Structure 1
């Protein structure tokens, strides 16, 4: 299987794994800081990283257009903001001695002007919005079934209800994107332009 197809699988799996480790960490009612917090957030961050090539690969199933470029750009901007959020959570977990100190560090970071909008409340949502729109565009071109975009939306909304539903949300995202795997696997890998030495 081509690397791009693996990334399409690994992105949602990373989100589901993040949710599962989070539930395991909460089982003793002492979640963060510590190994469970770091493991969960590293898995979530890995999922976001895998989504970058996944989004690019899925977009290549569509004809080039300003709409495609715009949706991909917004999706990647949202992804970048989400990665910063995960990175901040990881750093705060490393620096804090207990949950109260970790919450205080998080509050200090969010108090920086623009941080809450850029990395928490608004910009990260562009990733999820862009992914659903991209799935809708793929469905319109019959590269995904009609139910992929609604199922993807369900997978995104479930963790908003409660983060405990993250594993199911990740699974929904995986099932929604899975029909595109054969087409993604058939893509030729992007090539690096040759270096010309004068």
Structure 2
């Protein structure tokens, strides 16, 4: 449970961090390439990596079904595309001498067949859609309050309005997912009872 709890908190927290570092980098009008660009995108990439175990942990709370498997698969495909996008931004930032060259490198990458659709415009959105569907499925089983689904949707939509709202969006996602922690603890106790018993013995006076 401790690992699942860490990722449930760390994933959205990294989105908050990405947004804050991005705002700091833009404050002097020279965001990218440079330390601020790399720091922001590395934090964002870490967040996407952390969301992999989050998706798997949330899915583990649901009964096995083809629908659950399909939603998880779609969500992870979206996550993979998002990771590639962050990775490309990091590489372009390393190779470019200035903003204009970085933009040119980005345009060259997008010109490759299917890259714009797969890495930028369509496939990454599957992560957010899949996460929202998982939240809805958990809410239907009363493992998550319905307000969490609405808050998660707000967290997804806010950065679409403007990336400057990324910190607020990440915070909304964090608050939305925190109510899953008790269910994850119960699931861990059911799956690994010896761990819980050992912890109880260690905590006994």
If the TM-score is normalised by the length of the shorter chain, which range does it land in? Answer: over 0.9
Q: CA deviation at 1:111?
A: 0.1
Higher helix share: 2
Residue of structure 2 in register with 1:119 after alignment:
119
- Report deviation, 1:2: 1.2
Count of equivalent residues = 191
In terms of Rg, which structure is larger? Answer: 2
Give the Cα–Cα distance (whole angstroms) in 2 for the partners of residues 99 and 51 of structure 1: 30
- 2:86 is matched with 86
Name the stretch that deviates more: 145-154 or 78-87: 145-154
| TM-score (structure 2 length as normaliser) | 0.91
- 2 CA distance for matches of 1:185 and 1:43? 27
How far 1:150 moved relative to its partner?
A: 1.1
TM-score by length of 1: 0.94
State how far apart, in whole Å, the 2-side matches of 1:185 and 1:89 are: 37
Classify the secondary structure of the residue corresponding to 1:94: helix
Matched, 1:180 2:177: no
In structure 2, C-alpha distance between the alignment counterparts of 1:132 and 1:30, rounded to whole Å? 35
The CA deviation at 1:186 is 3.7
Give the corresponding residue for 2:60: 60
Find the aligned partners of 2:63 and 2:22 in 1 and give their Cα distance.
39
For 1:188 and 1:161, the matched residues in 2 are separated by 38
Q: C-alpha deviations, 1:25-50, integer Å up to 9, x for none?
A: 00001000000000000000000000
In 2, Cα distance between equivalents of 1:43 and 1:185? 27
Q: 1:4, CA displacement in angstroms?
A: 1.2
Q: CA deviation at 1:132?
A: 0.5
The runs of at least 4 consecutive aligned structure 1 residues that moved more than 4 Å come to none
Show structure 2 runs of 5+ residues with no match.
Answer: 193-205
Query: How large is the RMSD of aligned CA atoms in angstroms?
Result: 1.3
Structure 1: state its 5+ residue gaps: 192-198
Alpha-carbon distance in 2 for matches of 1:185, 1:160: 33
Which residue of structure 1 lines up, in the alignment, with residue 18 of structure 2? Answer: 18
Which secondary structure state, in structure 2, belongs to the residue aligned with residue 123 of structure 1?
coil
Structure 1 residue matching 2:187: 3-state secondary structure = coil
Q: Return the offset for 1:148.
A: 1.0
**Counterpart residue number, 2:33:** 33
